[in-house]
Structure 1
């Protein structure tokens, strides 16, 4: 479980935060707010530790931005995971656990099989990582548009703007897809947890 939590934090916070850090460093260097030569003279160990910590904090602070982008952007199709699961697995139609909270189901899977639960966690963390990496790509596209008027390489700036915009859309789409797969995987794994329906059965029925 320690490995799963570490992977979740790395994917969800540290990796997206590193994109924000790289973007802010580029902006600061272009605006001459920082001396890159002086920064590179910092001891390597301290520099690496500092970059990791700053990336994690930035990723944590910017997490709501990724959630907001994912929420406001339109979806091409419905994201009803439960309906898709039941369509593929008719035997689960009368199972009580199907309508339960997916995070509670994940906790049940963790008590039954930590390896399977870690697999679900990694899948969910990968989806969140892609989603949270999308906003810095959008900001980078805006920076590239600005560079179109301020740099000496307008063709390169336009190319970067297009690539970053495409990357922004692709990250959101793929993040949603992995999130959907994580929910499907949760339902599929919970199907095999012994007596799981008893825990969600209404005692009044």
Structure 2
């Protein structure tokens, strides 16, 4: 009886972990996708192409499922747009994560792993201790979420500028345009910062991986 209860508890824990990871991955795409969905819903509603009031009269369960699925798909399909936005926005500082790490940790100067590919190093970290690697994965995923949320902000700023000329509240429209445009640049900057933090954490965790230098030295 105790063994069965223990097995059931372990199974529930495994399912819970799987669901948690799935929800985190879903939100990484769904949050930017929901912003795209909100923008397009505003455009079609403002142009009177679709009766949004009729859409909201759908069964709540079906409406929620449709919003989640569409948001996820739009966020997934629009992933290259976020990557393009990241390339377009100028960088005020270069990414010298390795140099910063070595300056803070001189003992790692002659370590082989420091020059390894960061994604390969993250894979090694996941094999050694997946729970520790989750911290790096969280930083990377959050950075991608912020980066992919930037283009909808730019679209919203463009829509606000249009409303400045065709709408009835120019002060509100101009305020929204400034805020959305500032949000676009702020999200890109914060995404890059989180990316640097993720790379730094990968190097810091890699410092304590046993035999990691021998592995990369053998591969080279």
TM class by smaller structure = over 0.9
Q: For the aligned residues, what is the CA RMSD?
A: 1.3
With CA pairs under 8 Å and 6+ residues apart, which has the higher RCO, 1 or 2? 1
Distance 1:8 1:75 in 2: 28
Shift of 1:155: 0.5
- Once the two structures are superposed, what CA deviation does each residue of 1:151-190 show, in whole Å capped at 9, x if it has no partner? 1111100000000011011001001000110010111111
What is aligned with 1:7? Answer: 24
How many residue pairs end up in the alignment? 203
Shift of 1:61: 0.8
Please give the secondary structure, in 1, of the residue aligned with 2:209.
coil
- Once the two structures are superposed, what CA deviation does each residue of 1:55-78 show, in whole Å capped at 9, x if it has no partner? 011001111011011112111111
Please give the secondary structure, in 1, of the residue aligned with 2:95.
coil
1:1-205 superposed matches below 5 A: 2=18, 3-4=20-21, 6-11=23-28, 13-202=29-218
Q: TM-score, normalised by structure 1?
A: 0.95
Shift >2 Å, 4+ stretches: 1-6
CA contact (8 A) 1:4 1:121 kept: no
Q: TM-score, normalised by structure 2?
A: 0.89
Structure 2 residues not aligned, in runs of 5+: 1-16
Distance 1:50 1:105 in 2: 38
Distance 2:58 2:212 in 1: 55
- Once the two structures are superposed, what CA deviation does each residue of 1:116-152 show, in whole Å capped at 9, x if it has no partner? 1111101111111111100010010000000011111
Larger Rg: 2
Distance 1:80 1:86 in 2: 10
Shift of 1:10: 1.7
- Structure 1 residues 156 and 39, CA gap change in structure 2 (3 angstroms): same
